[in-house]
Every structure is written in structure tokens, then in C-alpha cells.
Amino acid sequence: MSKPNVLVITTDHWPASLLGVAGHSAIQTPTLDQLSRNGIRYTNAYSECPICIPARRTILTGTPPRVHGDRTFQTTLTMPELPTIADCFRDAGYQTYAVGKLHVFPQRNRVGFDDVILAEEGRPQWGVVDDYDIFLGDQGFAGRQFDHGMSNNEYSARPWHLPEDCHITNWATRQMSRMIRRRDPTRPGFWYLAYTHPHPPLVPLDHYWDFYRDVEPDGPYVGEWAKDFESLPYRVKLQRAGWPTLGAKAIQTAHRAFYALCTHIDHQLRVVIGTLREEGLLDDTIIMFSADHGDMLGNHGLWAKRTFYEGSANIPMILVGSANDQRVGDHRVDARLVGWQDIMPTVLDLAGLEIPESVTGLSMVGDQKRDYFYGECNEGPSATRMIHDGRFKLIYYPTGHRIQLFDLETDPRELNDLSDSESHKKHRDELLQVLTDELYGSDEDWLRDGKLVGLPDVPLETLPNRGLSIQRGVHWPPPPMTTPVAEPKDRTIQ
């Protein structure tokens, strides 16, 4: 029996709620909605560490930060000595290709892929000009990727400034479609397509900007616990300070632009799927769609990622099996707790390939399910941790020893913190003990005689945003480059 092809599609900053099939009031995602009906949508999917680089180390190795070594966004940390998802498929005779954002160091490390067509969001400072930048130069737009003036880490918005075919979403789609058409017909393919949006900059094409012109997005929601700034945990204050409160009009504009970038990706996926169909491959291809993390989009007064509230940590996870694969089926919704460490063992399992012993994730079509999901983000004063049991979620902030508890069954928007509720004390204490048992490394400084006590609270000190949230500039001639110094591989924590 021939092995199935595998297509893994990832995006950046896409919350699980932003799907039509999930009941969102404004977003239009007809392709992803249909893919959900063609397979399984996992509603309790979470990012183990809702930051770009740690998440990508997780999907590539099938391991969480405890194993792969990054929970803080270490830009020059080399990959751990672990088999990658690409290694496993390549060693099984697959042709393995990646298009888009890998976010590994060094940037041209192929991490097991036969070839990588790279887009790194304008990061030439490590000595690499990526393939998207080269493409723009070939089109006569050398160094003009960021002429729009929008930052990669804030929420001003305007339409895309170059021709439509030069948008990075179109470019990635076209590159992957050509890769599929240029495949070796005697071997199965493992294809990894990593879109950079809807991660800011918020620069959708005019067509998609107009698509949402008359749409009235729901405004952000704010929990009772989030209304008094002074009472917030230090990490939440820090996040609020990093993205000062926007006015109602600016929030509405940001939401429309964000939705536009999502719908643009959704429509471009149709080109990739159409290519598979016309090549006669669609029925024999496993498709996985997910995102590295979400975006708070103003909910609870917060933007971006690095928190374990639903907008940031709950991610889309859609799995479509090859035709007639009853392990996946269709029109299914699965509430088991899953994460990015589970993608690698799932697609290996469906392809009939061996899962390396180093993988800690679980196959999402297997019988084994986890009782708890552990999340960790940052270290030191800005650290936050999460334990989720499928209904109750406990979020822990060591600075100030702050605990929050939410019942996601009755309160999916996390409006009411139950951590002080006497009737929920049992759930709180049980989850707190599970979290304590998960701690390792520097987190053990939060313990005293085996009991979790956290760290002293610290005052919030805000600094001016002189770089406009890492604003890019003119990239032709190329901006100054530095000599990268790799962080040692023994940063991997076993």
C-alpha cells in the first residue's frame, strides 16, 4: 500500500475563535470551515508556549519547552539534537519541502527538509537574505517589503502597498503549489506551509480590506478581574503597558484588518488544495491546519500573545485524513486536550510511520488522552504557567504569587476569576498541585519546603517604545548585519 502525502499548514497569531465554524459573528473562513467538516476540529487545542520560536521548536520536534529548551524566545538557540518531523518523513522515503516561516537558527538550517523556501519577516541581521526578499528584488521592489510603515508588533493598519502577487501570502501559496507540481511522482510528499500572517503588520490587500469595510466586529470583552489595573498580576500589567489602550475606532480598524488577513489566507488555501486536486493527490493527502498561538485582540485590555488566556493560547487545530480513513472520519468535533507537540506523532501515526522515542506528544487519533495540559511562558518576573483539565483552567503568575481559575464550560470568555471561590477550592488546590509537580529549572525557586510561594511582587516600570515595537525600515541597500553567536545546544532542558 502506498504511503499518503502529508500537508501541514501553520499560521501565526490565529485564535481558535476566529473561524466561522466556531461560531464567530464576523469572520469569513469558508475553506477552513469546509476542511473542519471534512475531518476533525479539536476545540481544546493549546499552545504549550504561546511565542513564535518556542512553538516552532515544539512542532518540529514533537516536544514541549522542557525538552527542546526554549520558553522565552531565544533567537540564536540552535536546534536540539532530536529527530525532527522532516527527518522522520525523509528517512521513510518522503520528499520533504517547507515554504514560509521556520524561525530556526541558523536561518538556513533545513532541520531535515530536502529544501526550504524561506520567509523570515525581514530579519537579515543574522546574515541571511531570505527567499521572499529575493523575490521582491526580482520584481523590482528590492528592500521595499516594509514601505507600508506598519510594525510587526503593533496594531496600526493600512492596505498593502505593492502589487497583489507580491503579498507574502500569495507568494507562499504560489511557492508551495509549484513545489507540489514539481514533486517526484515516484515518492510521497511531506509539505510544510508556514504563513506569516495574520501576525502584524496589519497590511491586507485592498480587496480583503473592502471585504470587511461594512462589517461591525464585536468589541473586545473585559472580565471583572481585569477592570482594575492596579489589582492585575505584574505580567498582565506589563502586557497592558506594552500596548496602550486603543480607542474604539482604532480597535475596530485593527479587527477588520486582522480578519482580512485571515480570510486572505483562507482563500489562498483553496489554490493549494486545488493544486492537490488537479494533480490527483487530494484523496491520498493528510491535511493539518493550526497556528503557533493566538492574539488577545484587545480582550481584557490585552493584545498579542505570551499569556494563557483563551485568545492567546487556544489555537485552531483541524485534521483531514486521506479519503476513507476512518481513524479521522468527517464532521467530527473532538474536545480532548491537544497541542503542537501532538502534530508530529499524529501525522506520523496516520502515515504508518514510527514515532521517535524522544517525542512526548500523543497521536490525536489514538486512544491515549492526557488528563491535564501544561503551558509555560517566559522566566523570572514575567513568567506565567497554566494547567488545564479540559474544563477548569488555572493560570499562575509567580510574581506576587497570583492565581486565577476559570470554568471554561460556563465562562468561555474567562470573565469571572474563581480562584477565591470556596465552592471551587477543591479544583483550585488540585490544579495547583499538578502545576507544582510540573515545575523544573529556575521555576523551583518558587518553592519553599515543597510548597508553591512564588516571587515577591515588583512595581511596574514602563520604558518608552523608542523602536515602535521593532519597526522595520528600508531594506535596500541591505541594513546592517551582525555576526550571529549561537547559544549552546546544552540549553536544552531534559
Going along 247-369, which residue ranges are E strands? 285-291, 317-320, 332-339
- Which DSSP category does 9 fall into? E
- Among 13, 24, 52, 166, the active-site one is 52
Euclidean distance between CA atoms 437 and 443, whole angstroms? 11
Q: Which of 300, 225, 232, 229 is nearest to 457 (CA)?
A: 232
Task: Give the C-alpha distances (Å, rounded to integers) separating 446 from 65, 72, 374, 457, 460.
Answer: 18, 18, 17, 12, 20
Q: Which of 186, 262, 188 is nearest to 18 (CA)?
A: 262
Cβ partners under 8 Å of residue 81, min gap 6: 489, 492
- Quick check: is 166 catalytic? no
- Quick check: is 103 catalytic? yes
CA atoms within a 13 Å half-sphere pointing along the CA-CB vector of 455: 20
Place of cell 522595520: 472
Note the helical H segments in 370-413.
none
Strand partners, 158: none
Euclidean distance between CA atoms 79 and 76, whole angstroms? 9
- Among 13, 24, 103, 197, the active-site one is 103
Catalytic residues: 52, 103
